[in-house]
Structure 1
Amino acid sequence: MLLLDTWALLTRADLRASEETLRRWMNAAALARAGGRVVVAADGSLPTVQALIRWDSPWSAARELAERRELGFPPAARMASLTGAAEAVADLLTTAHLPEGAELLGPVPAPQGQERMLVRVRRANQAALARALHEAAGVRTARKAAQPVRIQVDPLDLL
């Protein structure tokens, strides 16, 4: 079995690109007949390729978690993505009583002329973050805010 287009899978702008790639490769390799060979057209030093060669998904998961802890990405931390018109996102953030230590990351451009802000908190503050955003969205709804804001907690796509 030959696994091609490795870069197409590994370089996707997705927080789970590495783990999804390993899952797909392991599923494909499991279909190889006993005594068959699996050839991966990729750099053998890449961690995802090493996990496949070793057939060691727990090692890959532990490495991925350590990297996410270092970067402050889920599941080591909790993030919320707020996407909408710049004024609407600013209004929601002004209305929200975010937990202490919340970090605002952004804004970054989003599709259709919108912007995206990320709010990052420690895992211990995940319930407080969800509650603050829920209440702020409720206040905006009660005020009949004209522009919506999409709220996603721990989105897979952070870009």
Structure 2
Amino acid sequence: PNDQAGVPTCRWCGRPDTRFRCSSCGSPKLRAVVLGTERTAEELGRAFPSTRIITSGGNKVVDHIDHGPAIVVSTPGAEPDVQAGVDRYSGETTAGAYGACLLLDTWALMGRQDLRATEDTLQKWAAASTLVRSHLHGGHVIVVADPSFPVVQALIRWDMVGAAATELAARREVSFPPAVHMAAIDGATTALDTFIESANLPANAEILGPVDLPPGVTLPGEYDEQRFGPAQRMLIRTPLGPRSELGQALRAAQVARAARKNDLPLRVQMDPIHIG
């Protein structure tokens, strides 16, 4: 959800949930759940004063680290590779790998405001897990999360195919990609309204929104929000099948818009990877 004036609002259809309550504690309050790598590293440094602490993430991504005792605090996807080195116990040269991986703040990944949050979460967990030595050689992966969540079970069982099938079934139930074709149209509110009115959309097309742009998404170029107002997103979905009908309708509307020399910023994406 998107918190607008304290009211969670769906980022895909724009409907507010005025009766929102936490399913666990019943509280209507919203709060940030991410602690941050720097703070975590500081706490670990105090707990393990004689151990090397390495942070990786944000504007400071570490590509690789030397073999040896260390604690690495990393944001998802920024985990450094471990260079090969001599094992201090066996004295043998070993391939670079972590001895253990602890997946923290798991709710922050799973609860992201993105339709692909679950699959992205599993992908990042799996990628981090592959950096750890095998269990036969003493490696451990620990995920701090509710084991009842399907994505957690998929990681524990290493069932990527089953996870994909479960996610696809959930998408089909609510008619979201890849179970349907979907176009995302971003721009000023006036530009969106004019574009939709001029587009000869297929009879089975369904319009969702407008809603705010997803976090981190901006219009290309220097969008002047003071001049055009906050950028919005409109979603149009149609059943699976030849997507040329929807694509042709949007393309024709773009051509007509160009002929009118409408200078309001607008972006049209067909089946984008991320819709919000």
Calculate the TM-score normalised by the size of structure 1: 0.92
Match of residue 149 from structure 2: 46
Q: Which residue identity lines up with residue 3 of structure 1 in the other structure?
A: L
Q: Which residue identity lines up with residue 22 of structure 1 in the other structure?
A: L
1:155 and 2:266 correspond:
no
The whole-number CA distance in structure 1 between the counterparts of 2:164 and 2:191 is 37
1:63 and 2:166 correspond:
yes
In the TM superposition, what are the counterparts of 1:82-93 in structure 2 within 5 Å?
A: 82-93=185-196
Match of residue 140 from structure 1: 257
Match of residue 95 from structure 1: 198
Q: Which residue identity lines up with residue 138 of structure 1 in the other structure?
A: V
Calculate the TM-score normalised by the size of structure 2: 0.55
Q: Which residue identity lines up with residue 108 of structure 2 in the other structure?
A: A
The whole-number CA distance in structure 1 between the counterparts of 2:264 and 2:102 is 49
The whole-number CA distance in structure 2 between the counterparts of 1:25 and 1:115 is 32
Post-superposition offset of 1:21: 1.1
SS of the residue 1:146 aligns to: coil
Q: Which residue identity lines up with residue 118 of structure 2 in the other structure?
A: S
The whole-number CA distance in structure 1 between the counterparts of 2:260 and 2:176 is 33
Match of residue 5 from structure 1: 105
Match of residue 241 from structure 2: 124
Q: For this pair of structures, how many residues does the alignment match?
A: 159
The whole-number CA distance in structure 1 between the counterparts of 2:252 and 2:174 is 28
- Structure with greater helix percent: 1
Post-superposition offset of 1:156: 4.0
- Is 1:78–1:120's contact at 8 Å kept on the other side of the alignment? yes
SS of the residue 2:212 aligns to: strand
Q: Which residue identity lines up with residue 12 of structure 1 in the other structure?
A: R
SS of the residue 2:169 aligns to: helix
- The structure whose Rg is larger is 2
Match of residue 232 from structure 2: 115
Post-superposition offset of 1:125: 4.8
Gap runs ≥5 in structure 2: 1-100, 219-224
Quick one: which of 78, 81, 84 aligns to 2:184? 81
Greater relative contact order, per chain length (Cα 8 Å cut-off, separation 6+): 1
Structure 1 stretches of at least 4 aligned residues deviating more than 4 Å after TM superposition? none
